[in-house]
Amino acid sequence: MSSQDQESERVVARLRPHGRALFWPSLVLIAAVGVLGYFQNGFLLGWQNAIVTAAAALAIVLLWLLPLLSWLGRRYIITTRRIILRSGFFIRVRQELLHSKGYDVTVRKNSLQSIFGSGNVQINTGLDHPVVLRDIPNADLVQSALHDLMEGSLNPIAARRQAEASRAQDETSVWGTR
């Protein structure tokens, strides 16, 4: 493998949480539009019609638009060198995890996630809080891909240092000499 191949970074996957998260907000949108269509101009007084329109608009913004923007604002990008986690719509947060650092990958599924083939991929990097890719489609495939990418990106210098450190611990010292 040439040095140019090692430096090139390719996108392996672009992921978002499962689209199932938009089921209830979509039902709210359909119900709000239906209620608005049924009661629009159905009252004699103008302020009552305005309240129906304002309530439907408020329900659509709070219960459909905000969850949609939240879902659109969360993205996970897996490349050959790292994992990039992006979240937020107005205030963006970006976090990167290098495959060469090594980590532990665990998949957790509840019963609904098992039905749809999704799951939470938990990445334990040894820090205080593990990174969790929430409700990812094909979570088992993502886990195996992360294992393969982590094994493929082992840094030869880090591997040599780790081997030297393990050799130094195996040596026995007697009375302060080796």
For 126, phi and psi rounded to 5 degrees?
Answer: 95, 0
Residues 118-150 have pLDDT tens digits of 999 999 988 778 899 999 999 999 999 999 998
171 three-class SS: coil
Contacts of residue 40, Cβ cutoff 8 Å, sequence gap at least 6: 49, 52, 53
Interval 71-97 mean pLDDT: 93
Quote the CA–CA distance of 137 and 140 in Å, as a whole number. Answer: 9
Residues 87-123 have pLDDT tens digits of 998 899 999 999 888 889 999 999 999 999 999 999 9
Quote the CA–CA distance of 33 and 37 in Å, as a whole number. Answer: 6
Which DSSP string do the residues of 145-159 spell out, in sequence order? Answer: HHHHHHHHT--HHHH
Residue 38 pLDDT > 60, yes or no?
yes
Quote the CA–CA distance of 72 and 58 in Å, as a whole number. Answer: 20
Quote the CA–CA distance of 162 and 157 in Å, as a whole number. Answer: 9
Residue 2 pLDDT > 60, yes or no?
no
User: pLDDT tier at 8 (50, 70, 90 boundaries)?
Assistant: confident
Lowest mean pLDDT of 27-31, 95-99, 151-155, 173-177, name the range: 173-177
User: pLDDT tier at 1 (50, 70, 90 boundaries)?
Assistant: very low
Residue 161 pLDDT > 70, yes or no?
no
Q: How far apart are the first and last CA of the chain?
A: 40
Report domain extents, the chain.
22-71, 100-169
Q: Give the pLDDT score at 168.
A: 53
Q: Which two tokens stand for residue 171?
A: 């040596």
Q: What is the average pLDDT value for the chain, to the nearest integer?
A: 86
Q: Give the pLDDT score at 151.
A: 85
